[in-house]
Structure 1
Amino acid sequence: MNASPTDRTTAIPSWTVGAVTVHRVDEVPLPPATGPWLLPDATPEVVRHHDWLHPHFADHEGVLRIDSHSFAFTVGGLRVLVDTGIGNGKERANPAWHDLRTDFLDHLTAAGFPPDSVDLVILTHLHADHVGWNTREVDGAWVPTFPNARYLTSRAEREFWAAYDMEEARGRMFRDSVVPVEEAGLLDLVDVPAEGREIAPGLRLLPTPGHTPGHIAVELTSQGEAALITGDCIHHPVQFAHPAIGACVDIDPAQSEASRRRLLDSLAGTDTLVLGTHFAPPTAGLVVTHEDTYRLAPVPATAHTVPH
């Protein structure tokens, strides 16, 4: 994996995977309280035990670093965005997500992906911090941010939430960030079998259920190289060392752990670049065997500029 060349005028973190350049589109670092809430078993004592987590993924006090970002790339002739973060101006129960005002769309445009140019939006699952920029507010209404794109998620995911007795906060999220896309006729539901599903040359969806029933990871391949975008199958690199650590919001904790172990087992010792949807910089790396589990060997990004 070779880093992309640096340009002094723009700093968009990027990695190359064969002929594909993957850009990290930053939204916001999440506050320190996110870790204890999201991954309660990742206590400071557990985190401090793993020196390799410092200083990038946790501080020396054992506080986890967690970010919100998306990934954009062109593969198989499609301009693709994976997950859309929290969004701006959304009413959310979580204070860290409520009524944000970030430069996400500016960062996306700086990466060479202005909203009108996006062909495909892949949603790993339908949680509030992964669908927020599906829509933006125009004249008091929530409208699709990417009007020329197809939005894609797994059929199992949408059907689960359709039958779910939603609390008001989650219902609000669906109304402002999912339903407008459906009403515009832009949402595609796909079946993702156990072996995965190719949706374009070099672009494959892999089932990683548990965090949500229809959760998917995204695999890229190009010129013999590969990368995998985790979604929330893995929230933080501490889970490489402790796959049994799950998120407080996992729908099926046992299935989530099984998916995480299966994924890590398949990636360990390979050259597949792992890109964590919530991993703080350096965000990406290789899965290597460490003690009786795994660790992430970082592969830092470099700044990359796409001509405008």
Structure 2
Amino acid sequence: MTAGQWHAVGAARVTKIQDTVLAVLTPEQLLPEWDSSRAVQCYPQYNEVLDITQTKVPLSIHAWLIEDRGRKILVDTGVGNDKPRPAAPHFDHLHTGWLNNLRQAGIQPEEIDFVLLTHLHVDHVGWNTRKENDRWVPTFPNARYLFSKEEYQFFKDPANNNGRNQTSFITREDSIDPIVACGLADQIDVSGEEVLEGVSFHSTPGHTAHHASIVLRSGAEHLLFTGDVMHHPVQVSQPGWNAVFDANPQLAMASRQWALEYAARHDATVFTSHFPLTSVGRVEKDHETYRWSFL
């Protein structure tokens, strides 16, 4: 799914705006509980979501552009360009075509009305800002940026600046703080209540302490933007398999279970943050087992 390819759900139109693809981890490195025989049994197509060498998992990094009710909304913003990431070399000083991909989808940065952030990790907030005369300035100067107040405070508290969170503190400084300083940030309580018409943030902690998944309701249709509740389609059938990136495995499992149940109960169209191919699909429930299918 590239710029120009989109999904219509209810009255909403959603386009994947690709930033980059990271294919450096084997399945066992991404999901420490990985068992190949169980993976084949519960997700027979798993070879389709490996890279060309059939040894690494390609993790797509992208934003979702929503056009709905006259609004232009981004869910997450990828890695960004020129960002110093000394502890995350795969993201260090990248130069991707993301901004051009957005324009190819027919949208100028100045047209974005809202930016919704599932969490404040390096690969989800980078295009919030761009470098201009050695300063980080908002990429979307006319947008309101909505994100969890508690997540922001977590990544401001020096007590949390450890090895796991080192890159997130640097990311906050160049990709979140300038937004706050410009008065464009709406720091919200993640309560499941509407923060915009049809839009709600739902608490799904575990990957980060205050991670949120986002729901858009368009008519009778539900769109679920999962953030990093899942990193691989096999986790739909094996929700007990955590990603190596999950800070709190027990909470991550509970949040994954919530997201899968929500998706199945509401027949939601699910927009993931890192699945390959289209990154979009549906979750079906058969007794107590969930199944993933790409759209």
- Structure 1 length normalisation: TM-score? 0.86
More displaced, 175-184 or 264-273?
264-273
Task: Find the partner of 1:186 among 164, 184, 187.
Answer: 184
Matches within 5 A, 1:72-111: 72-92=65-85, 93-111=87-105
Matches within 5 A, 1:1-308: 11-33=3-25, 35-58=27-50, 61=54, 63-92=56-85, 93-163=87-157, 164-167=159-162, 168-193=166-191, 196-268=192-264, 270-289=266-285, 292-299=288-295
Where structure 1 has 5 or more consecutive residues not aligned to the other structure, the ranges are 4-9, 300-308
- Percent identity of paired positions between Structure 1 and Structure 2: 37
Q: Which runs of 5+ in 2 are unaligned?
A: none
Q: As a proportion of its length, which structure holds more helix?
A: 2
Report the CA distance between 1:291 and its aligned residue: 7.8
What is the identity, as a one-letter code, of the residue corresponding to 1:148?
N
Partner secondary structure for residue 79 of structure 1: strand
Cα offset for 1:54? 3.4
Larger relative contact order, structure 1 or 2 (CA cutoff 8 Å, min sep 6): 1
Q: Show structure 1 runs of 4+ deviating over 6 A.
A: none
Q: Distance in 2 between matches of 1:220 and 1:146?
A: 21
CA spacing shift, 1:11–1:149, aligned 2, 3 Å: closer
Query: Aligned pair in 2 of structure 1 residues 151, 37: CA closer, same or farther (>3 Å)?
Result: farther
Residue type at the aligned position of 1:67: S
Contact 1:75-1:202 at 8 Å conserved across structures: no
Question: Is the 2:47–2:54 Cα contact (8 Å) retained in structure 1?
Answer: no
Structure 1 residues 251, 97: CA separation in 2 closer, same or farther (over 3 Å shift)?
same
Shift in Å, 1:290: 5.2
For residues 63 and 293 of structure 1, do their structure 2 counterparts lie closer, same or farther at Cα, with a shift above 3 Å needed? farther
Q: Out of 287-296 and 252-261, give the one that drifted further.
A: 287-296
Equivalent residues of 1:272, 1:286 under 8 A apart: yes
- The number of residues matched between the two structures is 289
For residue 12 of structure 1, report the CA deviation from its aligned partner.
2.1
